[in-house]
Amino acid sequence: MTIALWCVLIAIFLPYLCTGIAKAVGGYRLRDNHDPRDFLESLNGLGRRAHAAQLNGFEVTPAFAAAVIVAHLVGTAQLVTVNVLAVLFITSRLLYIICYLADWATLRSLVWFVGMGLIVSFFVVSA
């Protein structure tokens, strides 16, 4: 397994980190597990932002996974480059989560664009 493929696994689980934060700050109790999605939708402030970061993570992860897989299948890009791009993407996602939780909207958007640019980069280096 390459570092880039391990990064795909990390990206898959990052949204759940956000869910945990949302539930922790929102006062979620495990015994109230009958409708957790309704609970998450009812949050405000930090909890709501954590939930939004979770949803964005679920949206972007398939594109990242596809980009890494394409880069591996095509095989024209150097593996070191693919691994570096993957680590940079995970770093951008962590920064994105931090920006979302801190309510730094403009910086969050800039970090999101960087992450999307990194996804495009996988295809560019594989061309």
Residue among 25, 60, 30, 57 nearest 42 (CA): 25
Q: Is 76 exposed, middle or buried (0-12, 13-18, 19+ CB in 10 A)?
A: exposed
- For residues 64 and 96, the answer to whether their CB atoms sit within 8 Å is no
* pLDDT computed for residue 77 by the predictor: 75
* pLDDT computed for residue 75 by the predictor: 85
* pLDDT computed for residue 33 by the predictor: 77
Measure the CA angle with vertex 56, ends 66 and 123; round to 5°. Answer: 25
The pTM score is: 0.93
pLDDT digits (tens, 9 = 90+) for 54-100: 999 999 999 999 999 999 999 887 999 999 999 999 999 999 999 99
* pLDDT computed for residue 98 by the predictor: 98
Is residue 44 helix, strand or coil? coil
Q: 17-53 in b/e burial notation, b at 16+ Cβ within 10 A?
A: bbbebbbebbebeeeeeeeeeebbeebeebbbbbbbb
pLDDT digits (tens, 9 = 90+) for 2-46: 999 999 999 999 999 999 999 999 888 766 778 888 888 889 999
* pLDDT computed for residue 84 by the predictor: 97
Domain containing 47 — which CATH number? 1.20.120.550
Distance from C-alpha of 54 to C-alpha of 15, rounded to nearest angstrom = 4
Q: Calculate what percentage of the chain has a pLDDT beyond 90.
A: 82
Task: Give the CA count within 13 Å in the CB-facing half-sphere of 55.
Answer: 9
Domain that holds residue 45: 3-126
Q: For the chain, what is the domain count?
A: 1
